[in-house]
Chains A and B, each alone.
Chain A
Amino acid sequence: GIQVEQSPPDLILQEGANSTLRCNFSDSVNNLQWFHQNPWGQLINLFYIPSGTKQNGRLSATTVATERYSLLYISSSQTTDSGVYFCAVERVAGTASKLTFGTGTRLQVTL
């Protein structure tokens, strides 16, 4: 099956710092989502981004589908950004989509 690797696995930032998270995938995909899982386990959809660049406040994402990677940028990080960031690649199977999640990046933002 498709392999999805994320880097770095762990990241500690001081509040206000910027960071870039990377997601590499091993095969062509229909789409890609970025999620933030907060310390309570809630999985929050950040971006749905098959290609190109999108921005939402302090977060932005870029997917280069031809080179099989995506990047998530976090600027001016805040303590509420702490948690685990997952990318998930989507392959359409009939009428449903199947998500394969990456290995995750655990982010801790400190004061």
Chain B
Amino acid sequence: DAMVIQNPRYQVTQFGKPVTLSCSQTLNHNVMYWYQQKSSQAPKLLFHYYDKDFNNEADTPDNFQSRRPNTSFCFLDIRSPGLGDAAMYLCATSREQVWGNQPQHFGDGTRLSIL
């Protein structure tokens, strides 16, 4: 089945140790998104890619970076994780909006813990 796949489902890292989360998709969508969801809060958009064009939200900390080497894969890099970065990270994809109403499709998320 076509889908959005996030690995791993659970990730533990140490305070200050760089960590990378991955997302892949078989939907061949142009747009990929990363959201952060802290405990008991709603998901919040960090950034998105339209093809290789990167779009950062204004309030996304510099500690968060992203890479999209090809259409299928997108990575979230956290350069120096702090305790406040512990959260669920959700990846989503959509077709470009020029095609009309295009819903976002979400992966199952990666739950990140910081020791």
Query: Is B2 on the interface with A (CB-CB < 8 A)?
Result: no
CA distance A40 to B45 in the complex (A): 20
Cβ contact within 8 Å between A95 and B101: no
Cβ contact within 8 Å between B98 and A95: yes
Query: Is A97 on the interface with B (CB-CB < 8 A)?
Result: yes
B-side contacts of A96, CB under 8 Å? 31, 33, 48, 50, 55, 94, 96-97
B95 to chain A, nearest CB (A): 9
Q: Which of B48, B88, B103, B108 has the most CB of A within 10 A?
A: B103
A-side contacts of B98, CB under 8 Å? 95
Cβ contact within 8 Å between B101 and A48: yes
Query: Is B76 on the interface with A (CB-CB < 8 A)?
Result: no
A-side contacts of B108, CB under 8 Å? 40-42
Cβ contact within 8 Å between A97 and B102: yes
B100 to chain A, nearest CB (A): 10
A-side contacts of B50, CB under 8 Å? 94-96
B63 to chain A, nearest CB (A): 21
B-side contacts of A92, CB under 8 Å? 97
Q: Which of A35, A41, A43 has the most CB of B within 10 A?
A: A43
Q: Which 10 A-B pairs have the closest CB atoms?
A: A101-B42, A95-B96, A48-B103, A43-B106, A92-B97, A95-B50, A96-B31, A42-B108, A41-B109, A96-B48
